[in-house]
Amino acid sequence: MTPREIEVIAPNFKRRLSGVTSTIVQLIPEQLKTLPVAALGPGLPASLPHLSWRELPQLWRRPTARSFRIWHARRNVEMLAGVVLRDLLRMPLKLVFTSAAQRRHTGYTRRLLNRMDAIIATSAKSAAFLDLPATIVMHGIDLGRFSPDGPLPSGPAAATIQGRKVVGCSGRIRHQKGTDLFVAAMIALLPRHPDWTAVITGRTTAEHAGYEAELRAAIARAGLEGRILFLGEVDDVAVWFRRFDLYVAPPRNEGFGLTPLEAMASRTPVVASDAGAFSELIVDGVTGRVVPIDDADALAAAIEPYLADDDLRAETAERGLQHVREHFPLAREAAEIRAVYERLWHEG
């Protein structure tokens, strides 16, 4: 794809993997089915079409089939770059921003938001924190990658839990993600459910190494070292979602949060805190449970029925699978985002 053909640019100015980066990686291949989209920046797979930094001057020329391009930002720094390119360098661009934040925006962010041509909110919660009109477009997921069908984990870690029922928790190991709440719930529950093992996947950065060490010490004091396992960052989390018999998402703070959808799409029931968009993703009592944030006792109370009742898990898992397939396919998200773009192109 040449720069003249590109109609939508998805900047990604953060090298380290994050939820935003994961969204871009999943969404662009779906968007490419109907739109010439290219990414700009580091930290993205080479398989995605890229606009290189040296090709930026070519954005002064209008795209072949449109009167302007869409610059779709998802972070403040990407909004700022779009404003500079459009308003200072006079490139033919319209600016779109996707907001997942569930907090009052800073004055700096609000000033940037006021310069956008369109705003997308990833949930009703996110939209409620915006002072400007926004189109709600909830994330979808790749139902081909996240499904009940496919390979299961292999290797030493998988062998360790062979034949065991597994309750999983995935995400970076840190206070914000509520890993300690999951560990506390498991310390309370596992002694009563000897056929279950807990598995935690996710990277621990150097600044959070002490936090993990404290969790491991608590696990050791409870005598559960062999039943609450830290696997670190795994190559493919999708295979683990298939392996989990129950998935727990306990964060204290989240932007949107894809993991409950990924678990449900793998036919795995979910218990989650009321962070991010979780209460808009999970039908409480039907496809899983949603509990108050930062409440280890409530988390444990919601988890235990699923540990004790195989039929409840199976029924909940099937309802969750159908719910995600109906409401959260990636194609739906791409189509709704394209509708925002088309509105801008139509308005000129």
Return the CATH number of 8-140+329-347, one of 1.10.10.10, 3.40.50.2300, 3.90.1200.10, 3.40.50.2000: 3.40.50.2000
The pTM assigned to this predicted structure is 0.88
Phi-psi region of 65 (alpha: psi -120 to 50; beta: other; left: phi over 0): alpha
pLDDT at 46 over 90: no
Q: What is the pLDDT of residues 230-264, one digit of tens each?
A: 999 998 999 999 999 999 999 998 888 899 999 99
Cα torsion at 257, 240, 228, 234 (round to 10°)?
-80
SS3 assignment, position 72:
strand
Domain 156-327: CATH class, spelled out: alpha beta
HEC secondary structure over 243-303: HCCEEEECCCCCCCCCHHHHHHHCCCCEEEECCCCHHHHCCECCCEEEECCCCHHHHHHHH
- pLDDT band (50, 70, 90) for residue 278: very high
Task: Check if the beta carbon of residue 73 is closer than 8 Å to that of residue 82.
Answer: yes
- pLDDT band (50, 70, 90) for residue 21: confident
Q: What is the pLDDT of residue 276?
A: 87
pLDDT at 60 over 90: yes
Residue entry with tokens 């739109």: 35
Residue entry with tokens 């960052």: 233
Q: What is the pLDDT of residue 44?
A: 84
Name the strands in the sheet holding 135-136, side by side, starting at the edge strand that comes first in the sequence. 37-40, 8-11, 69-73, 93-99, 118-121, 135-136
For the chain, what is the mean pLDDT?
94
pLDDT at 115 over 70: yes
- DSSP state letters, 195-216: TEEEEEE----GGGHHHHHHHH
For residue 106 the two structure tokens come to 């800073």
- DSSP state letters, 147-163: SSSS----SHHHHHTTT
SS3 assignment, position 94:
strand
- pLDDT band (50, 70, 90) for residue 17: low
Residue 145 CB partners (closer than 8 Å, separation 6+): 238
Q: Per-domain residue ranges for the chain? A: 8-140+329-347, 156-327
Q: What is the pLDDT of residue 297?
A: 96
Half-sphere exposure of 103 (CA within 13 A, CB side): 9
Start-to-end C-alpha separation, the chain? 24
